[in-house]
């Protein structure tokens, strides 16, 4: 069972962003499960804890196109499937699990066999492999199952337009095992992290790395704390670093052998591999010469970047 939290038609964006803090939404689900390569659980946690002033991310071109083309994807879906869809203009919440909320793209109309929805996506041609042979990126799958969980839907369609390449749609049928597992993960995240204000553990992802570096971007000069409970992990890190170094050397050795074999050839190929070693020109500014010969120009275009260097050494 579900309820309507709010009508979202003509709702100001800042009010909509604040409303999302009341629970875990469909776009959060994949990240909370650790399936989203672009968003970490730590970022979802931070978005629920902040006051909303830092959550509005400026549009990039991909975000703008995805939003503007949502109508187009929905129309293509109707043409291809023969089904009719409409906007819901509402944010929903599960009655049994009120921390699970949903703001869906479209709902299928004209049927009497229960709720069915549609998620609209756009993708670049470079992402075509992720959608090949009926595959769907895992975080989008979790998004659709999240909506099924909130609205009690029997299935959910996902339609994708891959720019200049193809349009396709896939129906995901309700799967109670997946839905119950998703509910457990989200319930744990909400109750043990958001409600208790305890940040999730880092997961080693690039998204988590980016968030931590940005969130803790400045140190207090001279401030030191005792390093407690990390000896075993730091020892393991040293072992992993040595192994990575050995593997990297082995990898480079193979590359060097192939380069020596190719000599002046641009390409080498067989039935399994194609290797290219082509000429390339990169235009780079000689900063040492610029500083020496035109120091005023060098100073004018100098752009200091603040960051924190992370170093570990055994003592």
- Tens-digit pLDDT profile for the chain (315 aa)? 999 999 999 999 899 999 999 999 999 999 999 999 889 999 999 899 876 544 455 556 666 666 778 999 999 999 999 999 999 999 999 999 999 999 999 999 988 888 999 999 999 888 888 998 889 999 999 999 999 999 999 999 999 999 888 999 999 999 999 999 999 999 999 999 999 999 999 988 887 888 888 888 899 999 999 999 999 999 999 999 999 999 999 999 999 999 999 999 999 999 999 999 999 998 999 999 999 999 999 999 998 888 888 999 888
Please give the DSSP secondary-structure letter assigned to residue 96.
S
Separation CA 299–CA 202 (nearest Å): 39
CA separation for the pair 98, 218 (Å, rounded): 37
Neighbours of 148 (CB within 10 A): 26
CB atoms within 10 A of CB 97: 17
Half-sphere exposure (Cβ direction) of 203: Cα atoms closer than 13 Å: 20
Residue in the block written with tokens 């503007």? 68
Its pTM stands at: 0.76
Residue ranges of domains in the chain? 2-214, 231-300
Fold classification of 2-214 (topology level): Lambda Exonuclease; Chain A (3.90.320)
Give backbone dihedrals phi and psi of 2, rounded to 5 degrees, phi first.
-140, 165
Contact 56, 97 (CB under 8 A): no
Distance CA 140, CA 36 (A): 8
* Closest by CA position to 262, among listed 279, 277, 280: 277
Q: 286: which DSSP letter? A: -
């Amino acid at each position: 069972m579900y309820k309507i939290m709010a009508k979202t038609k003509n709702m100001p964006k800042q009010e909509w962003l604040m409303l999302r803090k009341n629970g875990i939404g469909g776009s959060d689900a994949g990240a909370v499960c650790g399936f989203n390569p672009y968003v970490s659980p730590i970022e979802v946690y931070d978005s629920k804890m902040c006051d909303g002033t830092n959550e509005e991310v400026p549009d990039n071109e991909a975000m703008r196109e995805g939003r503007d083309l949502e109508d187009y994807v929905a129309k293509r879906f109707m043409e291809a499937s023969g089904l009719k869809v409409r906007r819901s203009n509402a944010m929903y919440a599960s009655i049994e699990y009120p921390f699970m909320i949903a703001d869906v793209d479209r709902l299928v109309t004209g049927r009497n066999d229960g709720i069915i929805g549609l998620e609209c996506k756009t993708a670049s041609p470079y992402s075509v492999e992720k959608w090949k042979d009926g595959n769907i990126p895992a975080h989008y799958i979790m998004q659709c199952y999240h909506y099924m969980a909130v609205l009690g839907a029997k299935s959910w369609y996902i339609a994708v337009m891959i720019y200049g390449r193809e349009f396709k749609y896939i129906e995901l049928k309700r799967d109670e095992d997946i839905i119950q597992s998703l509910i457990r993960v989200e319930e744990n995240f909400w109750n043990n992290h958001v409600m208790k204000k305890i940040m999730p553990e880092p997961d080693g992802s690039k998204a988590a790395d980016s968030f931590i570096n940005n969130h803790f971007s400045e140190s207090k000069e001279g401030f030191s704390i005792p390093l407690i409970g990390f000896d075993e992990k730091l020892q393991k890190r040293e072992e992993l670093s040595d192994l990575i170094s050995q593997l990297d050397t082995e990898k480079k050795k193979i590359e060097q052998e192939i380069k020596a074999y190719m000599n002046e050839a641009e390409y080498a190929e067989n039935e399994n591999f194609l290797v290219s070693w082509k000429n390339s020109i990169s235009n780079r500014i000689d900063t040492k010469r610029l500083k020496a010969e035109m120091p005023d120009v060098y100073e004018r275009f100098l752009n200091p970047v603040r960051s924190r260097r992370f170093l570990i050494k055994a003592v």
